[in-house]
């Protein structure tokens, strides 16, 4: 395959994911590894870190915005490896039309300047799940059934990390034992206000006619034999500052702080964070924008088998609604 064709093939992640994961599965079988055990691990542990998953070669200077994503050998391998990892877990690589115009991969970099996105690109980030205002898989938004579920996995590919900035993961399995049964019961009630995260605000406004907001949503969900979470310190909370609901949110946020695991994603690493049973965040990113500064690529993985056609955009094979 020529470099140009390889870059083009990423536009259909379902097809290329199938091809690449077939190779991965054959290699796993050859090594005597159990694919089902691997998949199960991804659903019991809050993250899977794959060090040295791909070669980082031929990288241009670090970009200074979420987009555009430069076509170079390094970013091609980073993207193909992310798609392969997600497909090996039996999931599809997806994007949302309402975030960064539906781009399948975005740069996570230092954004120059003084604006809110610039400040946010350097500051530490509290624990959250991504696409927090969207329903978890298997549920629907109470007002707009076309809204697709938030992703099952957030997938990060490491390109540069000169200051070893850490991605943090807070496993739900370590948060819940710190809460009382009463607090857990409160978090399961449909009583919370959940605002779209910053990267989804303009896009949901444009596509839905108003910024997405859930008025009366749950933060914890009973799914099969698991508890799933959606949470954001800044975008999700109780209606009232006082009372049992607010106390439960405060206890949850406090518990998050005690169990953050820090992982410095190195060049060539793939990190899959389970967006149902873990929260993620980040330590402060030091340095100046551009040059050789920190650079990760991000995409999402989702089991799309239960989606209906209305939950997708018609003009794309990977872009979900909104």
Q: From the CB of 96, what's the least distance to Fe ion, in Å? A: 13
Q: From the CB of 138, what's the least distance to Fe ion, in Å? A: 21
CB-CB contact of 217 with 194 (8 Å): yes
Nearer to Fe ion, 76 or 131 (CB): 131
Calpha distance 221→234 (Å, rounded): 20
Q: From the CB of 298, what's the least distance to Fe ion, in Å? A: 8
Using alpha carbons, list the distances in angstroms from residue 262 to 40, 129, 170, 214, 283: 23, 16, 9, 31, 8
Calpha distance 12→319 (Å, rounded): 11
Q: From the CB of 228, what's the least distance to Fe ion, in Å? A: 16
Nearer to Fe ion, 77 or 156 (CB): 156
Q: From the CB of 109, what's the least distance to Fe ion, in Å? A: 14
**Look-up: residue for tokens 């055990």?**
37
Calpha distance 3→72 (Å, rounded): 9
Q: From the CB of 130, what's the least distance to Fe ion, in Å? A: 4
CB-CB contact of 192 with 249 (8 Å): yes
Nearer to Fe ion, 130 or 141 (CB): 130
Q: From the CB of 131, what's the least distance to Fe ion, in Å? A: 9
Nearer to Fe ion, 268 or 278 (CB): 278
Comparing every residue's Cβ against Fe ion, the nearest one is 130
Nearer to Fe ion, 8 or 120 (CB): 120
Nearer to Fe ion, 54 or 300 (CB): 300
Nearer to Fe ion, 16 or 256 (CB): 256
For Fe ion, the binding residues (CB under 5 A) are 130
């Amino acid at each position: 395959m020529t470099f140009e064709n390889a870059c083009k093939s990423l536009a259909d992640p379902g097809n290329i994911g199938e091809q690449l994961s077939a190779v991965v599965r054959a290699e796993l079988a050859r090594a005597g590894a159990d694919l089902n055990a691997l998949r199960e691990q991804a659903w019991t542990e809050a993250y899977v870190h794959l060090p040295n998953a791909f070669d980082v070669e031929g990288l241009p200077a670090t970009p200074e915005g979420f987009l555009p994503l430069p076509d170079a050998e390094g970013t091609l391998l980073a993207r193909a490896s992310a798609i392969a990892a997600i497909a090996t877990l039996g999931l599809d690589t997806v994007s949302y039309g309402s975030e960064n115009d539906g781009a399948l991969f975005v740069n996570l970099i230092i954004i120059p300047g003084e604006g809110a996105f610039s400040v946010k690109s350097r500051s530490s980030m509290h624990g959250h799940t991504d696409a927090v205002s969207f329903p978890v898989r298997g549920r629907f938004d109470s007002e707009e059934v076309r809204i697709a579920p938030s992703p099952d996995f957030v997938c990060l590919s490491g390109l540069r990390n000169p200051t070893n900035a850490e991605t943090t993961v807070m496993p739900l399995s370590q948060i819940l034992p710190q809460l009382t049964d009463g607090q857990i019961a409160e978090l399961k009630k449909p009583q919370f206000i959940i605002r779209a995260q910053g990267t989804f605000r303009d896009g949901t406004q444009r596509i839905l006619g108003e910024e997405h907001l859930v008025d009366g949503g749950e933060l914890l969900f009973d799914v099969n034999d698991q508890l799933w979470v959606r949470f954001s310190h800044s975008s999700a909370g109780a209606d009232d500052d006082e009372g049992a609901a607010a106390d439960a949110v405060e206890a949850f946020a406090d518990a998050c702080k005690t169990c953050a695991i820090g992982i410095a994603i190195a060049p060539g690493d793939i990190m899959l964070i389970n967006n149902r049973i873990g929260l993620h965040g980040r330590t402060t990113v030091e340095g100046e924008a551009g040059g050789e500064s920190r650079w990760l690529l991000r995409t999402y993985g989702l089991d799309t088998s239960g989606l209906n056609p209305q939950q997708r955009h018609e003009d794309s094979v990977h872009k979900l609604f909104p």
